[in-house]
Structure 1
Amino acid sequence: MTFMADEPDLQAAAAQFDRSTVTEAETAADDERKQVLSQFPLDGWAAMPLSRYALGRPAPPADGPTYCRLIEFGTPNLGSIKGGSAAKHIMYHHNSGEWRLAAPLRGMEPQEAWQELRGQFVRAFEAVSAGDFDAVDDLEVLRFGPTLVTKSLATYFPEHFLPIYAAEHLRRFITLLGGSPQTDAPAWRSNRRLLELVRSRPEFDGWSGQEVMRFLYLRFDPRPRQNTIWKIAPGERGRLWEECRDGAVIRVGWDELGDLGQYQSDTELKQALDARWPRSSGGSLTLARRLLAFRDLEPGDRIVANRGTDEVLATGTVNGSYRFEPDHVEYRHVVPVTWDVSHARKLSEPQHGWRSTFAKVDAALFAQISAGLTAPGTRTAQPHTGDPVPLPEDIESVLTALDRKGQVILYGPRERVRPGLRSAPPSPSSAGRMP
C-alpha cells in the first residue's frame, strides 16, 4: 500500500477515527504497565539478578515471570513484541542448555554478560530520566535488541515514547506524517521522531499514545498481507479438536523442541529436529520451515482445522501470537484462534496433501470451504434456504472468477483489514507483530 498520504486524506482519516473505541484497550494497557512497574521498578534494575531477566531458564522464578517473558507475552496491550526469534532479548537461555548472547557479549560468562547488559539498561533509563535521549544511542549492546529496548523505554516513560516498536513500521509512519526517516537510526530514535511529528499535527491534539498507535495501524498498516492459508491438524485424526475449539486455540506437538521463539533460523530448528527425530534432511527442513511459519502466524491470518484428508472441522482466524505452554500436558505450541464451525463439512474428494500436520490451502479451495455453510452440529454441507448469506468480498471475487473462467490466479500482497478496534492491532516487533 502507499504511505505518502495526502494531507486531506490523513486529516479526514483522523477526524473519522472513533477514539472511544480505544478506551478498553487503554485501561488494559495501564494495568499492564502497573504490573511491570510493580514487579520490576526502575530503582530495582541495578540489582536485578539474571534469573529475573532472561527467557528460557530451566525453572521459572518462584516470584513471577521474568522481565523478558512479561514484556514479550504478558503485556500485549502495551504493544506486543511476541513472535519471531528470542534473539531480540539480547541474551537468553537456549533449550540446548547454552546461553545465547548478542555479538558484543560473546565470549563472556553469563553473569559477566548480564552485568554489562544490565548496566546499559540502567544507563539508558537514567539518560531518558534526565532528558538526554542522544546518550541512549551510544549504548552498543542495546542496539542488538531494539524492539525490547524501545518497548522498555515506552513502558517506563510513556510520555516520551509511542507504543510502536518495529523500526520499519516507524520509518513508514514517519514518511506518512511528512518526515524523512533515517534508515540507520535505532528504533527508539525513530520512535522519538515520530512522536515529534505527531505532536506537531493539530489533528492529533490531545490524543494518547495508544490512540495514535491504533489509528496508524488501523488506517495505514505497513505490513503486507500474508497470502498463505494453512491447514493444521489438531492432533492425530483430530483428537484434540474439542480442546482446541473450546479453548479458542490451535495446538501442535514436537514439545521436546521447547519454545520455538528461541530458534533464529530454519537451519537451527532443523538441527534440533534431526537430533531428536532423525529423518531425511529434506523432510526435516520442510517441517522446520512449517513450524516457524506456525510460530509467525499473525492476527488476521486464516487457517483450516481438519480431520483426515477429507473433513473440515472449522475455519479459523488467528487473533493472537504464538506462545509455548511448558506446563500443558501435551501439544504445547499454541496459537490463539477464533473458530467458525459453520464451515465444517466433508469434502467431495480427499486432499492427499492433508496427511501431514501442516499443509498449504489453495485460496480457491478455501473460498469454496468458506462458502459451504452447514447446519449447526452437522459435518456435511446442507442446502441453504431463505435470504442469501453475504460472503466476504475477497471470497466472492474468487468464486466469481471460478464460475467465469474455471480457474483463478492469486498473487501479490493485499492490505490486511482488521475487524473492530477493541482487540489490539498486532505488535510492531522485529517480527512485525502487534496484539
Structure 2
Amino acid sequence: MVLDSKMQTDLLQFYEESVRKGDLQSLTSINNNLSNFRKKFNPEVLASLDGKALLEYMHGKNSRDSLAYWLEFKNDEEFETNIFGSIGGGSALKFYIYQSRKGDWVTGSPQKQKIITEDEAIRIARGQREELLECSKLMGDLPENASDAEYEELQKKLLNVKRMDPAFAYFSQVSWGHKYLSLLYPSKLDDFHNANYQRFYLRKALVMPPEGVGRFICAGKYVAMAKELGMPIIYLTTILRLKYGRPYNYWRISINDDGPGKKQWEWMRSNNSIAISWSDIGDISQTPDSRSGLDSIKKSIESQYSLSPPASTKAAQQVFYFANRINEGDLVLITSGYHILGAGNVIGNYSYVPSYELSHQLPVEWLSLNDEEAMGIEDTDLPVYQITSQGTLMTVEKYLNKPYVAPQPPLPILTGIISRIQSVLERKSQVILYGPPGTGKTYWAEKAAKELASRSAFNKSFKDLTEEEKRVIEGDKNKSGLVRMCTFHPSFGYEDFIEGYRSMVENGQMVFNVEDGIFKKLCAEAASSIHNYYLIIDEFNRGDTPRIFGELMTIMEKDKRNKPVLLPLSGNALRVPPNVFIIGTMNTADKSISLLDAALRRRFGFVELMPDYDILGNAQINGIPLGAWLDAINSSILDNVGPDARNLLIGHTYLLENGQPLKDFSKFCRVLRDDIIPLLEEYCYEDYDKLGKILGTTIIDVKQQRINDGLFDPSKWDNLVDALLVNYPDITKSPQAHDSTGEEEQLTG
C-alpha cells in the first residue's frame, strides 16, 4: 500500500464531502473536454501539418485556437484548461517562441528577447513537434499501472529524446510538455505540471517522493494512490489541491530550549508569533529583497555588534531570510536540537517592535504545539533555515499529521499524606501506612492509589475523570482495574497471593491444578501494559507475611524489578514489573512494625498516620469540642496505658461520618459506647482504675468494675456530657469550644 489506512480514510471522506459540495467536475464533463482536446491536437493531427500551418496551429496568438492557447488560457464550453492543472504565469517564452501582438515571432529569454523570421519560427515548431511525437510514443508504450521503476525508466528515455536546439530545455522538462502528455494519457500522468508541486502533495499524503529529478518520476505514486482510492487521478489531484491549498516553503527556526531560548519559545508560543533578536539594527521592512538588501543588513550588524566578518555575514543572512524570504502561508518549524517544539503557518507580514528584545516578528497560527523528539530532521547550526531535505520535509508532515493535543494545565502538586506516599513509592515501590486504629490508613491508601493511577494513566486528577476512565482505575464486575485490594488474615497464604494448588472435579475425579494468585495475576497484566498498577494490602500485619511473600522477597525491591525467580510449584518464572506498586496498611494496635520480619521491613518504606485533630476543626456536639476532647483522651492514654501507648491512641475517623465530623449526639453516643469504650477496655486489659483515669469515674464505676450504661439513655445525656468533661474541664476553654446556651439564646431571642 502507498497510503496508510488513516490517510486513505481522510482522503475518501474529503472526496465524499467535495462531491456533496459540487467541487468536482463530472466525469462526463471531464471526458468531453479530453475528447475535444485529443481530436484537435492528437499526435496524428500535428504530424499531418507543416510549415506556416503547423506554426500557427501550435503557437498562433491571434487565432486564440492554437495549442499554446488551449494549454494556458482556453476556458469555455469547448475546453476548460484549468480543470487539468495550470501552467499560467511567467513569461510567454515558456513555449520557447510566441507571437507578439504585432504578429512578430519572438524567442530568447525573458531578459533577452529577440525577433526571428517566420522560417526560423517554423523550424522551431517542427523541432517541437518531433519531440512531442516521440515523447507521446514513449508514453503510449508505458503499461497501465506501471511501477515506480518503470516511471523512472520512462524519465530517462524522455531525457534522451533528441532536442531541436541544445540551448533549450527538453520538451519533457517544461510544464506545457507535461500538460500536453497528461491530456493524452490522463490514466498514466498526474496534472501537477511542476515537479515541486508533485512532491509537495505526495508529502501531504505522507508518501515519500521518489529520488531523482523530473516531472514524470512521481507519476507512479499518483497512479498507485488513485488505484487504492478507487478514483481517477484527476479526482485525486483535485482533492489534494482543495484539501491542502497551494504549496509553500518550509522554514526551521532553531532555538536553545533552555535559559534565554526557553524564554524566547515561551514568548513566541503565547504571542502567536515567531521572532528573532538583533533589535539594534532597527526596522528592515523596507530593505529590498536583493543582494544590496543583504549587504545593507550586514553593514548594520557590523556597526551595532562586535562580530567577526564570517559571523556578521551569517547573522545578516538569518535576518534577511526572516524579513524577506519567509512569506505569508509558509510553514515554520520551531526546533531545539533534534526536538520539535511546535509548527505553524505564517499569517502576516514582517513587523519591527522596538520595545521588545525579540523585535523582528512574524505572526503565526500554530498548527501543533506537540513537543516530541524527531531524529529525522537534518542537522544545522543556522537559526533561520529553509528546509529542503526530503527526509526532513516528510518528518515535518508526519509531525503535522498527528492530532494536536493542547497542553493541559499542569496538575496541582501533591501535598500532605498523598505526597509522602508518592515519595516513598518513587523511591522503594512499596510502602506501609501504619498507625493506631481510626487514623485513616485504608482511606489514604485507596485515595493515594487512585490519584496516582489517574495521573499516570490519564494525566488527570481522579476527581476529574470520566465515568469510563474511573472504571479503568477502579474496575467493575467484569474486569479488575489498575487499583486492586486484598486483605491479609491468618488463613491467607502463599497459594492465594502467588500460586497454589486448587482442587476441582474433572470427569468425576478430584484433581489438583496450580493456579495463579492475586499478585502473580497482577504482575502478568502489568508486564504487558503501559499503565501503573497498585495493589492495596489491608491489614498487612494480620497475615503470615514471610510465608505469603515467599520468593517474592528476592525480586520485589526496586532495583531487582523484572528479574526472574523460579517458582517451585509451577516451575514458571515470576517477574515483578517496575510499574507495580504495593501500598500496605497496618494497625499498630495489633502489632508494632518492629515485630515485622526484618527482611520484609527493609523492602518497604513506612508512613506513620496518627490522630489528626485538625480534621475535626471547630466541630462540637452538645458543648463538647470534638477535636479538643479526643486530644485530651489520647493524652490520658499516653499517661496511663504504658510504654506502648503511642500505638494505642484513638483515631479521628471514629468521630467522622462520610468524611465530616459527627453532628448528631445520638451517633456520638453509639460510637463512644460501641467502639471507643470497648477499644479502651482492650488497651487497659480491663484495668478499670486506668479506665477511670481516662474516661472519668462517672462513666467508669471503678469499684464495681463496670461501665455506667445508664448515662447513654437519652434522658441522661446532659449527665453524660458533664461526665465526659469532668476529667478535662480545660477543653471547654479551647478555641474549638462553643457556648451552646448562648447560641440557643441567639436563635430564640
After TM superposition, the score normalised by the length of structure 1 is 0.44
Q: Which structure's residues are more often strand, by fraction? A: 2
Greater relative CO, 1 or 2 (CA 8 Å, sep 6+): 1
Higher gyration radius (CA): 2
After TM superposition, the score normalised by the length of structure 2 is 0.27
